[in-house]
Structure 1
Amino acid sequence: MGALSNLSDFFLYGCCSNGFSSGSLSSLRKFVQKWKKRLTNKHEFLNYWAAEGQKLIVVSIWFFINIFLFTEAFIRYFYYISSITVPTGVQKVPFFVALARGFGQLLNFNCALLILPTMRTLLNVFRSLKFGSIFPLDKNLVFHRYLAYWIVVCVIGHTLGHYLNYACCWQLYDSATTPLQACWWNKFGTTGNVLCVVMFIMYAASAKTYRRTKNFTVFWYTHHLFVVFFVLLLVHGKQFWAWFFIPMGLYALERIMRNLRGSEMTIVKRVHCLPSRVIHLELEKPSFRYESGQYCFLNCPMISQHEWHPFTISSAPEEEFLQFHIRCVGDWTNTLMDVFNPAQRPTVEINKPTTPDGSDYLIRVDGPFGTCAEYVFDFEYVMLIAAGIGVTPYSSLLKHFKFRLDAASSGQAPPLKIRRASFYWINRDEGSWEWFSDILNQLESENPDFFDIHTYMTGMLKAEDVKKIMFASSEYQNQSSTKDNVQQSGKVDIMVRALHKYEPQSSDEMRLDRNDIIVVTEQDESGWWMGTNTTTKQTGLFPANFVVKVDHVTKMVDSTKRNFGRPNWDAEFSEVRRFVEKNSPSGKKPKVGVFVCGPAGLSKQVYSFAVDKSKNSTVQFVFHKENF
């Protein structure tokens, strides 16, 4: 360890000669220092291994296979070219041929491997096996993407080696009168150059900033050039068929199974267009069984017969319908919004939607497919962190927890292994809270010891909204001499949510359904309040003990867990760690599952705190990231 530490110090001083002052630390030195701590500090290493061990094992195996394949091909062809005789006047450069062949063998291996991470059915099979947990299956698309990056490097090396060889030895190729002709004169040169053009088109349309805007359809169709890509590879590479034979067979089976699963039409039972351009779809429950947190691919024949898009299931397995919450941000999803809400009204609810000819709306569903959310049940304590529409997998999980808790309390199911679920939802748009506020209120009120729910509003609020929140808050009301003073001076109405159903007993009373939102216009000491039901628009009296106060933004119970601004992850992780340490037996190192579904910046931030808060602690935070 001492030698390793000295070596890293030497490297740092060599690269960063201006010393170790904190103000001048470069990103390179920070990177080296981070790895120095991981490799020289036992606790740092164990924490990092717990978080990234699976990925490191797979990447290391892949790396050494690449080293072996390149070295073997390079040496073999170098000695082969060195041993052959060429005509007088022709320069023989075995290094260029060996370089091209070495990278060519890497292309055989990596191009054959490239298609495997996209086989969703194969990944599901691996998840169901006992040894499947040793693979980082949730990183499949990340692995696919980095394989594609590495293939570009291999293509550059392979092409450069061949072009330099043609420049030196073009006379060896019949009918070639110039080096440029030698590059194109046979099928290998032609297919190789065309492959580069196909790759350029596919890679350009796959750029994250391009495909995640309004260009997903372009990405979808250009990515199907992979058929042309692999056909050209089979013609170009003499040995590629041997590498590609098994992956090609598996992919053919995958496509057959996808077509069989996706051929079944599912009836749309209900559509609810929510604020912030979110569509809540309720579908007739298909024949397959699914677990909480899984996702499906949806196809709407009215939009496109061949275009499929992945969406997380937001309903629990115990619910009557299959539900999806879809945020409309791309071309396909915006078209879906136009189909059900052509007038672009803020909210629309359609029960049993039908097409213009009176028939049912039909959607094809392919799935379900697993995600890291399935590992939630391996922990006694979990932190579920969502940003915006990333709440959908956790909506399914939280509702499933509720069903399981109720079943366990009645003796119909074994108790959950999970003892506490801490949920953090970060939203920028005020209207987004309406997606799941009903569910969250129910969970928080009925199982407060199990569900620990925190909300964060990060978007800008209007001055009127700030005024409503401040004057209607419990803290302000408790400090006021009378509740009437608040309403008379501040002119701010109190907002409440119905906890129970209430049937009116007289003409001046109004009916309440569970989770109705009421704006209170008058409060009375007798326990009867006057207000307007925002759902039914009815005005009347109602009993105060049937409602609970909520804030104006989230429509959730007013408490210290309703926050404005970004989360303080240091405080949140510390609080969870204290709770777990207090409620866990001594001598045991409990694990807390940390699950994130949100943008990359949020995931990186949470990951760093999960690793940091596991240091010198009896609690281990295990990080999982949903693909978002």
Structure 2
Amino acid sequence: MLLIMLLIYTTASRKMRHQCFEAFWYTHHLAFFFALGLYTHATGCFVRDGVDPAYTHVFPFYDPNHCLGYMSWRFTIWPGILYFGERSYREFRARRATRLSRVLIHPSGAMELRIIKPSFKYTPGQWLFIQVPEISRFQWHPFTITSAPKDPYISLHIRQVGDFTHALGERLGAGPDVVARMTAEAMRGTDPETDKEQGQMSRSTFTEFNLAVNANLPAVRIDGPFGAPAEDVFDNQVAVLIGAGIGVTPFASILKDIYYRQRENRLGSLQRVEFFWICRDAPSFGWFQSVLAEVEAAQANPDFLRISIYLTQKINEDMLWNIVVNDAGADYDPLTLLRTRTMFGRPDFMSIYDRLRWAIEGGRYLPGSTAQLQTKVGTYFCGPGPVGKAVKAATEKNSGATVNFSFAKEHF
């Protein structure tokens, strides 16, 4: 039992989960044998209340009258029934028939899997487990749902960073060589105005694999959906969405759902949305650009959604020259092809939240709001821990009687 606890503990670290998810997954199934150990470790009078001195010379140093026996079943039987019932239900639920309908790859290397929508409902920001039996019959991997509930499919954006995702990419024909070639082509780019006129978006162009080549797409199984912190985003008056790198995936579904809700006038309490995306390199803008462009173009009220994009990549001289040339007089940003201009460096969240609080308290941010009413601002973050700590510190410092900043972190 101690060995099982040691294995479970050592493979539960964040680094191990990201770099070797298989070790984390398999060792945590040893918890079943740990439970069996709880039921059996009291046999043979292993646990006793004491040893009578008159019997200490008798092997194996115990008297049956002093045995405590096994008692922990009284405390574990009902949780055990609930656990195995839930596992059985999930196994049954995961056997529902579904399959891949389309496979796309974006210049950033992210694969987009579009799955025929099964018979379940989900809300924006939720996630699910996916299994590809052809790759592994035992591994289930969690991914955030990036499609909106009203989309006719379920989409998952997957970055190739581990053994499973690399194997999946190779199986779908989206291995490292394909990703490297597409990224190089995306970085070359073309003129933004020409792209817009021709209906093309060079840095956001995705490739849909030829169905003749991928006619035999692998079968998939899904288990979910499961809840996430961003489910209550529409209960706030102001929502601040902050994604770093691939951590932007939970907000793809939310922004799409905002787009649909705006068309149906069903935004609830939500009056303003602040969206921040921090990227390390320019190609990463590719897969999410089409979603942002669609939502940005649909805004009848330009103040409802404000997009702020930050690029932390070190800019070399050639790239700087290309940005300056393409940006001069252009209506769209040369990197993202959005109306919103890209900012360089890391955002100062303490300053951002300070300005937001002053604008709300001064009545300039939400028309019609008064100082007597508390404004509820929900912050939803997904990304690296250090950035999350900075955002949380900014929300805690600026939260007060008139503006209540809440913070929720999505783990990925």
Instruction: Name which of 551, 555, 562 aligns with 2:333.
Output: 551
Q: Is the contact between residue 148 and residue 254 of structure 2 (CA under 8 Å) also seen in structure 1?
A: yes
- Matched residue SS, 1:265: coil
- Matched residue SS, 1:200: helix
Q: Is the contact between residue 169 and residue 175 of structure 2 (CA under 8 Å) also seen in structure 1?
A: yes
Stretches of structure 1 that go unaligned for 5 or more consecutive residues are 1-194, 409-413, 478-493, 495-548
Shift of 1:577: 1.9
Shift of 1:311: 0.5
**Matches of 2:112 and 2:16, distance apart in 1:** 26
Q: Is the contact between residue 166 and residue 175 of structure 2 (CA under 8 Å) also seen in structure 1?
A: no
State the one-letter code of the partner of 1:244.
Answer: T
Tell me which residue corresponds to 1:611.
396
**Matches of 2:276 and 2:126, distance apart in 1:** 20
State the one-letter code of the partner of 1:571.
Answer: S
Tell me which residue corresponds to 2:382.
597
Instruction: Name which of 11, 17, 20 aligns with 1:205.
Output: 11
Tell me which residue corresponds to 1:370.
227
Instruction: Name which of 26, 29, 37 aligns with 1:221.
Output: 26
Instruction: Name which of 336, 345, 361 aligns with 2:178.
Output: 345
**Matches of 2:209 and 2:101, distance apart in 1:** 7
State the one-letter code of the partner of 1:232.
Answer: G
Tell me which residue corresponds to 2:135.
303
Tell me which residue corresponds to 1:231.
36
**Residues 406-485 of structure 1 aligned to structure 2 (within 5 Å):** 406-408=263-265, 414-447=266-299, 448-474=302-328, 477=329
Task: Please tell me whether residue 580 in structure 1 is matched to residue 360 in structure 2.
Answer: yes
Shift of 1:607: 0.5
Shift of 1:235: 1.2
Tell me which residue corresponds to 2:200.
none
**Matches of 1:221 and 1:465, distance apart in 2:** 45
Instruction: Name which of 50, 54, 76 aligns with 1:244.
Output: 76
- Matched residue SS, 1:550: coil
**Matches of 2:18 and 2:264, distance apart in 1:** 41
Instruction: Please list every run of at least 4 consecutive aligned residues from structure 1 whose deviation after the TM superposition is greater than 4 angstroms.
Output: 351-356
CA RMSD across the alignment: 2.0
* Structure 1 residues 352 and 295: alpha-carbon distance in aligned structure 2, compared to 1, 3 A threshold: farther
State the one-letter code of the partner of 1:596.
Answer: F
State the one-letter code of the partner of 2:9.
Answer: Y
Instruction: Name which of 252, 255, 263 aligns with 1:395.
Output: 252
Task: Please tell me whether residue 285 in structure 1 is matched to residue 117 in structure 2.
Answer: yes
Shift of 1:228: 1.3
- Matched residue SS, 1:367: strand
Please report the TM-score for the alignment, with normalisation by the length of structure 1. 0.54
Instruction: Name which of 264, 267, 277 aligns with 2:96.
Output: 264
State the one-letter code of the partner of 1:384.
Answer: L
Please report the TM-score for the alignment, with normalisation by the length of structure 2. 0.81
Tell me which residue corresponds to 2:60.
none
Shift of 1:558: 5.0
Q: Is the contact between residue 268 and residue 352 of structure 1 (CA under 8 Å) also seen in structure 2?
A: no
State the one-letter code of the partner of 2:297.
Answer: S
Aligned length: 352
- Matched residue SS, 1:459: coil
**Matches of 1:588 and 1:277, distance apart in 2:** 46
- Matched residue SS, 1:373: helix
**Matches of 1:209 and 1:439, distance apart in 2:** 31
- Matched residue SS, 2:346: coil
**Matches of 1:553 and 1:360, distance apart in 2:** 33
* Structure 1 residues 299 and 217: alpha-carbon distance in aligned structure 2, compared to 1, 3 A threshold: same
* Greater fraction helix: 1
- Matched residue SS, 1:345: helix
Greater relative contact order, per chain length (Cα 8 Å cut-off, separation 6+): 2
Task: Please tell me whether residue 405 in structure 1 is matched to residue 262 in structure 2.
Answer: yes
**Residues 526-565 of structure 1 aligned to structure 2 (within 5 Å):** 549-559=331-341, 562-565=342-345
Residues 356-391 of structure 1: CA deviation (Å, up to 9, x unaligned):
7x5443211111111111121211111001011111
Shift of 1:354: 7.2
- Matched residue SS, 2:381: strand
**Matches of 2:280 and 2:262, distance apart in 1:** 31
**Residues 150-165 of structure 1 aligned to structure 2 (within 5 Å):** none
State the one-letter code of the partner of 2:220.
Answer: I
Q: Is the contact between residue 117 and residue 152 of structure 2 (CA under 8 Å) also seen in structure 1?
A: yes
**Matches of 2:129 and 2:176, distance apart in 1:** 27
Bigger radius of gyration, 1 or 2? 1
- Matched residue SS, 1:325: strand
Tell me which residue corresponds to 1:480.
none
Task: Please tell me whether residue 624 in structure 1 is matched to residue 408 in structure 2.
Answer: yes
Q: Is the contact between residue 421 and residue 452 of structure 1 (CA under 8 Å) also seen in structure 2?
A: yes
**Matches of 1:349 and 1:258, distance apart in 2:** 34
**Residues 79-158 of structure 1 aligned to structure 2 (within 5 Å):** none
- Matched residue SS, 2:122: coil
* Structure 1 residues 342 and 592: alpha-carbon distance in aligned structure 2, compared to 1, 3 A threshold: closer
State the one-letter code of the partner of 2:409.
Answer: K
Q: Is the contact between residue 265 and residue 365 of structure 1 (CA under 8 Å) also seen in structure 2?
A: no
Q: Is the contact between residue 258 and residue 267 of structure 2 (CA under 8 Å) also seen in structure 1?
A: no
